[in-house]
Amino acid sequence: MLKLSRLTDYAAVVMAQIARHPEHSHAAGELAEAVQLPHPTVSKTLKMLVKAGLLESRRGAQGGYSLARPASRITAIDIITAIEGPVAMTECSLAEGDCNLAATCGVADNWQRVSLAVRALLDSVTLAHLADTSPIKLPVQLPIQSVTLAADTA
């Protein structure tokens, strides 16, 4: 089963909560209470999101966490990558991937196409979409046929 970690799910929930109220900074405790998650988990998630450049943190009486850029310019893949690392279906789907079977497996190019299509879809879903309570309208056809690999251009 392909599945995001709970921490990634929590990161999306916390980011969506901040995106719904971008006009002010949010304290970790306030966010934890609003989304009904343990404070230590929210604090850990917030630190990872700050490190990834998705959130800004300010200390002091007017301090707290806020989006580093508008919710419409933060994507699902940004959030996933901040917590999980690069998105790929298989090891050989990463540019820096290392696989002993790549030369003989016969499926590496197609896995790379699938990975690129998944990344393109995740890149098209913004934090603004996630924060909205109405359903996201996804494309009917994924762009897998139009994916060009570096090997295709050589």
Tally Cβ neighbours within 10 Å of residue 24: 10
Which helix H or strand E contains 143, and what residues bound it?
A: none
Return the pLDDT at 144.
57
pLDDT band (50, 70, 90) for residue 50: very high
In sequence order, which residues have a C-beta less than 8 Å from that of residue 93 and are 6 or more positions away?
111, 112, 114, 115
pLDDT per position as a tens digit, 112-122: 888 888 888 89
Side chain identity at residue 45, one-letter code: T
Return the pLDDT at 88.
82
Phi and psi (nearest 5°) for 126?
-95, 165
Number of H helices, E strands in the chain: 7, 2
Whether residue 149 has pLDDT greater than 80: no
Return the pLDDT at 89.
81
**DSSP 3-state of 77:** helix
CA distance 127 to 7: 16
Return the pLDDT at 38.
96
pTM of the full predicted structure? 0.84
Return the pLDDT at 98.
67
Return the pLDDT at 136.
81
CA distance 121 to 77: 9
pLDDT per position as a tens digit, 51-94: 999 999 998 878 899 999 999 999 999 999 999 998 888 777 77
